[in-house]
Structure 1
């Protein structure tokens, strides 16, 4: 059969993939053939079922689509022509999309746009940059099914964060990641080995907040696909093993007004402006209520424990990495905050919406800002009453009951997302693990 001339390398936009984020931040999509997707935003029909699936494609028993569960039809999907880019070292092109029409108010990208509009109404533009830690294993999809976890081989053994020797030894892999990101228009600020076996950290360059979330979403899918082409598996789980550190998904955020950094005040403590103080106060005030957007999985809460470079309570400090929010002083062009609550398992759109939405609430309502923490925030605020939610179930309940969440994200989204997280909790909590069998089988 002759090759369709529309699928040639000269016309990659006519043989491109379209991807849309589900609640878990997973890109779902398909190839769209025979149309130039770079020519204006087009609306196509796409299965609304992706908004009712969990991460294993099981239908969540809730009416996300306001239809019977067996009657999933098509929804309107807006293809975003400006997002097209190569997502491989070859010629595979991807365009991002978002649900529109009646589904826009539960679309993760639509939720972030809603929050950014609220910031813009106050005269502020938001800039963000994501950092991801991910773990590489010398395994494939078959071997991880066939072998117990203890036999999985990570790319490297032991810790050795920031190891130059390992970076040199693995330079071919690093060169490919850098080339992949350059081709995909996802510029990096840094790439290095982190603490833990096979753990790599990539810092994505800051940009407009919506574009930053787009880049982060593509980056995660792209790295996982690339690893498989190299006979490896990449994971962005928050906590792969209790014996290893967790994997973070920190977000750097700043706000500007009239092209000036509104977070910066050269005369203030830590250069933290009055606006930045109100913004951080809002993030702390609503962190427990919005936590599930930054820690959306059962596994997320196994990272939020003492001693793992992850926050355990709402706290802030100037250049203090033990806090949930780290104010990073610097010149006006670099002054920002680091939102350290999320793990690498985040949905970029929803985690950023949580971080900015809570900050904007602080700007609007002016809650008191607690004292900044000097020293280990885990030691300073170890009281049970000060802790972040301890489980997905607790975090989901707080979110579902939050009037602030309904105000910022909309009642329909709060209801739909809460239902999806309850389903996720129930899908995992009833499982009996090998650890439980080893611990209880004989002795109890």
Structure 2
């Protein structure tokens, strides 16, 4: 939050690394030096190509959308001086986050989240948010992982052993490095532990203002990957690395306040769920399928959303029920909140949070009705009303680009641009022949 941020001075700024988030949540950037910076914040030119590339730097063809960026031009980047974070142990190199300005602001992921948060503020609400990410560590370098087939990659640990104290103590040096990394970069954690799955770790970032929480989440993912590579390891935030292992989640804890009070809490109400929280939940469920692509943005995302792996399969909510898409976590006024469990670790944090809050604000505006909570496994079809989440990226993209409410909340230009990128992502994978197909069909068919 603004009061917690220490802005780097002129000398530090002259060693600045500028980073901006693309559609895939990848932090892209460059160093700037000397006359390119100022003490009060500044605007620089940056290639608009990052809004027209996919995750492998391939240009998305123009026929995948009506108004793609020209790709070959420069855009204005607004550098956010209050986001300065040291990214070296000597504190002689700072990372500044930036956002697209001018004509590109309407399709900038951070700008889209700000648009949603302004809509919440217009109703008198502010949001506190905490992200938690699961990731996998492999004892492989950039070189070795390219030379080995997938089934020979060596994870940090073998097999599932969630919350293991023995493994935590055995990996004490590694955990200390992660904690020091986060403390140095002003990314305070509230938890760090082994998850179930080989090499799987979960990090919970401490809650704060919604925009700052998203900034922290974006920086955390990039810095964790860089740290692992420096250590001769590889970290991945893929939603599903193997069909034999659980997926990697990116859950989002959300509470809202109004006039300094927790707007989700009502002491006299059932389970302390206020009318505002009920409407907010109702909106999240009502528009979950239409907005799903923001929280499940990749082909691989939908391989996580399967029964039996602690991931949702339908728009559902429950009280402290981890099989649901939204989990209400009862508590006192300071802790009462919800956990948005649809999103995986592969999300763009700005867009996933825009999805979770934007749909909730629609629920408040429309006085959405909330169905009874799910008791038991939410993936079982015995729970009415039962509507499955989109089954793949193509279906989710179609729902999003055809949704009038998506255009209302996120803006028509963003809906068109993001849908264009997701249609390309779907098509880019469909023509590829996988090892699974070779194993299944080569001899038998």
TM range (shorter): over 0.9
Distance 1:349 1:328 in 2: 23
Distance 1:411 1:36 in 2: 34
Could you tell me how far 1:396 is from its partner in structure 2? 0.2
Distance 2:404 2:66 in 1: 23
Could you tell me how far 1:366 is from its partner in structure 2? 1.5
Could you tell me how far 1:39 is from its partner in structure 2? 2.0
Q: Which residue of 2 aligns with 1:397?
A: 398
Distance 2:382 2:355 in 1: 23
1:189 partner SS: strand
Residue ranges of structure 1 left out of the alignment (5+ in a row):
1-8
Post-superposition CA distance 1:365-408 (Å, at most 9, x none): 11221110111111255789610000000000000000000000
CA contact (8 A) 2:278 2:369 kept: no
Q: Which residue of 2 aligns with 1:131?
A: 132
The count of aligned residue pairs is: 436
CA contact (8 A) 1:18 1:95 kept: yes
Distance 1:423 1:160 in 2: 38
1:378 partner SS: coil
2:213 partner SS: helix
Q: Which residue of 1 aligns with 2:80?
A: 80
CA contact (8 A) 1:137 1:232 kept: yes
Length-normalised TM-score, structure 1 = 0.95
2:17 partner SS: strand
Could you tell me how far 1:40 is from its partner in structure 2? 1.9
Q: 1:68 to 1:254 in 2, by over 3 A?
A: closer
Q: Which residue of 2 aligns with 1:362?
A: 363
Q: 1:363 to 1:38 in 2, by over 3 A?
A: farther
What are the residue-to-residue correspondences of 1:18-417 with 2, within 5 Å?
18-35=18-35, 39-62=39-62, 66=67, 69=70, 72-91=72-91, 92-380=93-381, 386-417=387-418
Q: Which residue of 1 aligns with 2:3?
A: none
1:337 partner SS: strand
Q: Which residue of 2 aligns with 1:11?
A: 11
Could you tell me how far 1:35 is from its partner in structure 2? 4.9
Greater alpha carbon shift after TM alignment, 126-135 vs 38-47: 38-47
Distance 1:409 1:62 in 2: 22
Greater alpha carbon shift after TM alignment, 352-361 vs 379-388: 379-388
CA contact (8 A) 2:145 2:153 kept: yes
Q: 1:38 to 1:233 in 2, by over 3 A?
A: farther
Q: Which residue of 2 aligns with 1:435?
A: 436
CA contact (8 A) 1:127 1:255 kept: yes
Distance 2:349 2:169 in 1: 30
Residue ranges of structure 2 left out of the alignment (5+ in a row):
1-8
2:117 partner SS: helix
Greater alpha carbon shift after TM alignment, 40-49 vs 19-28: 40-49
Distance 1:295 1:116 in 2: 21
Post-superposition CA distance 1:41-89 (Å, at most 9, x none): 21111101100000000001138795785x6211010000000001243
2:379 partner SS: helix
Q: 1:189 to 1:379 in 2, by over 3 A?
A: same
Q: Which residue of 2 aligns with 1:5?
A: none
Q: 1:176 to 1:37 in 2, by over 3 A?
A: farther
CA contact (8 A) 2:68 2:417 kept: no
Post-superposition CA distance 1:164-183 (Å, at most 9, x none): 01111111110011011111
Q: 1:383 to 1:148 in 2, by over 3 A?
A: farther
